[in-house]
Chains A and B, each alone.
Chain A
């Protein structure tokens, strides 16, 4: 479904991704794990067109995304819940969700999708008229994921969905991610909480300073000694 072929991305002179190649198949949950600054978020930003690749190919369903501007990538079927949630703090919960559906014009369908988001996250329904900035961290994360779902993506990119959340909320969010996947959306999730991510993913890539150092089945990587040492906090 999505292929990255030898992708190099720069921030000015900083070489952030040094030749990333990865593949995501229809229906999968794939996770990218790695420590701070490894290039996980940059990979998602590259796919979404916010920081386009300098060389290499990003292919979605066989078509290149390299020169597609960020705002046109959403209508291709990819949406992202960015790192730090990036909620529109002064827009209400409803308006935030409406912005998620910005590229669509089918009002009735948008309304039913909003109901679907409220089914996944009943808390959002209670706060529908509240400003995004007044929500708690967990609620903002729910809103960010719900907002990304409003464009009806075939591929959903999630950047650090567990960041800053209480452990109980982390469980809930990951449960919902699995739910979304079961309903047919392919997911690429970037996580520092490698244990949780490997628990729900089918496959995983390990990123280190802009390079993929390991790839494979999530279950296999979970047993991998190096991965356990570096990312799972086991000796």
Chain B
């Protein structure tokens, strides 16, 4: 009885002893890196650091913008992380779902006839709120439908099969994007129905289905604060950050505190054990895809409005960035992915400014490789995959 009735220690001892930080492999990597960076890159770092030192305002500006971008990258990254957490599937179609979100918001904006010059601020505000809801609803059900018909039948197939299916869905969605972007088709529908609203959609899409579409500049452009020479932050930036952070907080509290959210985490950790609790695993997975889809669609609308364009291939680029963010923070871990998103946004902005836009992707992936070298599970990920 002794073992069972001794007063409990505050923390049970970890089962596996911690790996020492400096293993031989890591030591080699560090030495290699120092040699590499030292010989080849010191001059570059010097100029970059000097440039940062010279203009703290510019640096602040880039940090603020980077963090703002980071919030919506985090929202997309969560879509990857949620699905990975519960199915261990990288949902390649998620980036393209984000693109569909941008296209849908353009379609709804045109249908409602919103125009920054003629519509009043109040109308725009409430219409955009309504459109956000509509877009999230559409992409949520689209995502759940994709799961139902493209992934669920492959649930017990070898792991490569659903992965290939996800890549296939990504192409399908890109083509849906090209289709939605075809003004001629919308024109025919508008003529057939005699509808002005659909005519506006046709105008917005133009005649080139694969060309970038302009999304009207509906967000307020006023300055929240402005310091001469460089530092400025507009209401548009603020709005993007607030809406994105709101989505992140909402998702986090849903998964953390509600019964359904706990069921999602339980299913992610052990599906059969969850079924033994009476949790309907299929339904829980559908809910996860609904939520992931809604987040992807919302991000699509936010980014579309923020950048003022929509393009059928925008999902690929954004998806790559966000997926990287999820891996960086620890895929499957919600807080980690959000952190990864912020970091990627920050790195992106700094690299755009100080190294050059064309190097940004290289910089991001170099940092990803570096971090994974030391923490293969990502920044906040745990051994064995901490999920959801």
A95's nearest neighbour on chain B, judged by CB, is B262
Cβ–Cβ < 8 Å partners of B259 in chain A: 98, 102
CB within 8 Å for A88 and B275 given contacts A134-B12, A139-B12, A169-B3: no
B19-27, B264-272, B287-295, B357-365 - the one binding chain A: B264-272
Evaluate contact between A102 and B269: CB separation under 8 angstroms: no
Query: Are the C-beta atoms of A71 and B275 separated by less than 8 Å?
Result: yes
A sample of 9 cross-chain residue pairs with beta-carbon separation below 8 angstroms, ordered by A number, consists of A50-B275, A50-B276, A73-B278, A82-B276, A91-B262, A95-B265, A99-B266, A100-B277, A171-B1
Residue B4 lies at the interface, judged by CB distance under 8 Å to chain A: yes
Contacts of B1-59 to chain A: CB distance below 8 A: 1-4, 8, 11-12, 14
> Is the pair B269, A90 in contact by a Cβ cutoff of 8 Å?
yes
User: Among A49, A136, A138, A139, which residue has the most Cβ atoms of chain B within 10 A?
Assistant: A136
| B69 part of interface (Cβ distance < 8 Å) | no
Q: How many residues of A contact B (CB 8 A)?
A: 42
Q: Is B178 in the interface zone, CB < 8 Å from A?
A: no
Taken together as a complex, chains A and B put the C-alpha atoms of A49 and B272 apart, in Å, by: 10
Q: Which of B2, B12, B272 has the most CB of A within 10 A?
A: B12
- Check A90 against B386 for contact (C-beta < 8 Å): yes
Decide yes or no: A99 and B2 within 8 Å by CB, A88-B265, A91-B265 being known contacts: no
Spell out A's residues near B (CB within 8 Å): 48-50, 69-75, 79-80, 82, 86-91, 95, 98-100, 102-103, 123, 126-127, 130, 134-136, 138-139, 147-148, 151, 166, 168-169, 171-172
Q: Is B279 an interface residue (CB 8 A)?
A: yes
Q: Which residues of B contact A127 (CB under 8 A)?
A: 8
Q: Give Cα A91 to B269, complex, Å.
A: 9
CA distance A100 to B14 in the complex (A): 25
Partner of A74, one of B1, B4, B276: B276
Check if A86 sits within 8 Å of B280, measured CB to CB: no
B3 in contact with A138 (CB, 8 Å): yes
Q: Which residue of A lies closest to B283 (CB)?
A: A71
Chain A residue numbers with a CB within 8 Å of B278 are 71-75, 102-103, 151
Bound complex: CA A88 to CA B273 (Å): 8
Cβ of B387 < 8 Å from any Cβ of A? yes
Closest A residue, CB atoms, query B1: A168
Q: Is B325 an interface residue (CB 8 A)?
A: no
B281 within 8 A of A: yes
Question: B11 contacts which chain A residues (CB < 8 A)?
Answer: 130, 134
Knowing A82-B272, A88-B270, A91-B269 are in contact, say whether A136-B277 is a contact too (CB < 8 A).
no
Residues on A with beta carbons closer than 8 Å to the beta carbon of B3:
138, 166, 168-169
Which residues does B use to contact A, with CB under 8 Å?
1-4, 8, 11-12, 14, 259, 262-263, 265-266, 269-270, 272-281, 386-388
Across the interface, which residues of A come within 8 angstroms of B274, CB to CB? 88, 99
Asked whether, in the complex, the Cβ of B277 is within 8 Å of the Cβ of A151, the reply is yes
Q: Which residue of B lies closest to A49 (CB)?
A: B275
Chain A residue at minimal CB-CB distance from B274: A99
In the complex, what's the smallest C-beta–C-beta distance from B386 to chain A, in angstroms? 6
Q: Which residues of A contact B388 (CB under 8 A)?
A: 90
Which residues of A lie under 8 Å from residue B269 when comparing CB positions?
88-91
Of A75, A95, A151, A169, which contacts B4 at CB under 8 A? A169
- Complex Cα–Cα for A49 and B12 (A): 34
Known contacts A90-B387, A99-B277; 17 further A-B pairs (Cβ under 8 A): A50-B276, A71-B275, A71-B278, A71-B281, A82-B273, A86-B276, A88-B266, A90-B386, A90-B388, A91-B262, A98-B259, A102-B279, A123-B8, A134-B11, A151-B277, A168-B4, A171-B1
Given A98-B262, A99-B262: A86 in contact with B273 (beta carbons within 8 A): yes
| Min CB–CB distance B377 → chain A (angstroms) | 13
- Minimum CB distance partner of A138 in chain B: B4
Closest to B388 in A: A90
Task: Find chain A residues with CB under 8 A from B280 CB.
Answer: 69, 71
Nearest chain A CB to B196's CB is how many angstroms away? Answer: 50
**A98 contact set on B, CB distance < 8 A:** 259, 262
Which residue of the partner chain, among A87, A90, A99, A172, contacts B1 with CB atoms under 8 Å? A172
- Closest 9 interchain pairs by CB? A74-B278, A86-B273, A103-B278, A70-B275, A71-B280, A99-B277, A102-B277, A88-B269, A88-B266
- List chain A residues, Cβ under 8 A from B263: 99, 102
Kindly state the separation between the CA atoms of A151 and B259 in the bound complex, as whole angstroms: 15
Task: Note all chain B residues with C-beta closer than 8 A to A147.
Answer: 277
Contact in complex: A168, B265 (CB < 8 Å): no
Q: How far is the CB of B212 from chain A (nearest CB, A)?
A: 43
Known A86-B270, A134-B11, A139-B12; contact A74-B265, beta-carbon cutoff 8 A: no
